[in-house]
Structure 1
């Protein structure tokens, strides 16, 4: 399935929910945009899909649609340093990415703009990942994007690698960590993918981290869920998934190879593996919950909210789609 076909499948699935949302809004006095989450594994094409959805919903269906990325809400560089200093033994905070490395106050403030009937514009922050040797920093307010609200915003597409993740009970975090250690103990035979040992494409990285550090990230995610990233804050979720978590390594390596062909630069395969392993613990902890249904606890609201899951093969083609 081509990327355009993938976007068309999503549009066809989400349109009835947007219409249902509009009808409910017309019955009330408040005007609230439809919040569409797009989440997916690294290299799955979520950013491209989000941009394609903006074009399709705006041009083909006349919905005033904007896109915002979770990446633009990372902590400022000085705040990143402070986080690492305060948690020197927590390897999960040594680089940006995990819940806890974003600015939840800024995120909550961003979404609160849509409840202000007097707002004349909407601001979207900007984060430059290239600053400070790749650690990145938030750009000054003067360089943020602003969107005039002379026409009401109908749809907000919010994309990010951990959008849709929900915190686990502490006992579940501990259980999954123990399970990861047990799987490692079995010492599965090595296989080869992309000329790298399968053992390097690790999907049991929870065993590399202390329980207290995993629980810290889980607590940060709990705040995210309450303030801006729980099912109560979304109307529809699109989830790009895979039936083999090891594919994340393959996809990211493919992306770096393509970058090297275009620009003559890019990470080595070994560097990509280390990069992906920064994010892998969250996949191991939270994907099961997302797969079981993001809106599973919304009760009577289930009829006006929905989730589309696209399971991708190693070439990033859709092998299965599920709407629930």
Structure 2
């Protein structure tokens, strides 16, 4: 594997190479052991709050397994299954205005995600959905990559991957300004929680091995997400209306706070490997169950 090329492509500091060697290469070897005994695509789920590095970890695992071990790897993000603006606007009118904003359970096309996994499992010709965050809509379907055979690994990464729903009594108290002002009756958060308890769990149950990049607290999310948005702005052509200002980012992350905090508290015990991060995203320790 060309680690220096990987660092350049992903705009990563040289210290990432040490992180990869210490933590992520052993993780890949662990995944290989499990996959060797599987007679179907081995599905790896990666959870991490916004900006925690899960997309980069996904790319590293894919690159390592394919270049070093010759494995066929398909990477999916739960973000790629977001509904388009038209569908979300319809939900905003029918259920609650906050559903116009992508992100929370209820704004993804989960039947499409399940169908994508089903087709990959069968080795059918499969188009992999891709979402363009800069335009806040999916890329045209003709631009989606196409897989024509069953892969060895499928990686599903996302901020809410593996997360569980809350008890209804926990929904009563707003967790931030957004919920207090824009969802005073709790209609939005109840809808989101019900969605998370439904087909999302059917999707997450398909995961064979769960990994979590665990932030120290939700406080880091704004800063990490801000960095992401600035990178997105640098890459964009300048006429993309989906790029957010710093203030918009601050409002945007509040949509994710409730589920993220719940996951930080309850998800580690359900994961096979947990990497504990500090506020600079440095891994301080890991917990490996298998």
TM (norm. structure 1) is 0.74
- Residue by residue, what CA displacement relative to the aligned partner does 1:100-144 show, whole Å, maximum 9, x if unpaired? 000111111111113325x2x33201222333xxxx222343222
The number of aligned residues is 269
CA contact (8 A) 1:18 1:34 kept: no
CA contact (8 A) 2:126 2:146 kept: yes
Shift of 1:264: 11
Question: Which residue does 1:76 correspond to in 2?
Answer: 84
Question: Which residue does 1:253 correspond to in 2?
Answer: 226
CA contact (8 A) 2:28 2:65 kept: no
Q: How does 1:264-283 map to 2 (within 5 A)?
A: 267-283=244-260
Question: Which residue does 2:8 correspond to in 1?
Answer: none
Distance verdict in 2 for CA 1:148–1:205, change over 3 Å? same
- Residue by residue, what CA displacement relative to the aligned partner does 1:266-285 show, whole Å, maximum 9, x if unpaired? 64432321121122222133
TM (norm. structure 2) is 0.81
Q: Is the aligned partner of 1:322 residue 2:278?
A: no
CA contact (8 A) 1:124 1:144 kept: yes
Larger radius of gyration: 1
Q: Is the aligned partner of 1:289 residue 2:279?
A: no
Alignment partners' CA distance in 1, 2:108 and 2:197: 13
Q: How does 1:89-168 map to 2 (within 5 A)?
A: 90-91=97-98, 93-116=99-122, 119=124, 121-131=125-135, 136-149=136-149, 152-168=150-166
From 56, 62, 67, give the equivalent of 2:64.
56
Give unmatched runs, 5+ long, in structure 2. Answer: 1-13
Alignment partners' CA distance in 1, 2:236 and 2:83: 29
Alignment partners' CA distance in 2, 1:248 and 1:293: 22
- Aligned residue for 1:239, secondary structure, equals strand
Alignment partners' CA distance in 1, 2:232 and 2:57: 19
CA contact (8 A) 1:37 1:159 kept: yes
CA contact (8 A) 1:167 1:286 kept: no
Distance verdict in 2 for CA 1:206–1:290, change over 3 Å? farther
Give unmatched runs, 5+ long, in structure 1. Answer: 26-30, 181-201, 295-306
- Residue by residue, what CA displacement relative to the aligned partner does 1:242-288 show, whole Å, maximum 9, x if unpaired? 22320111222344456667889764432321121122222133332
Distance verdict in 2 for CA 1:116–1:252, change over 3 Å? closer
- Residue by residue, what CA displacement relative to the aligned partner does 1:58-78 show, whole Å, maximum 9, x if unpaired? 111222112111111111332
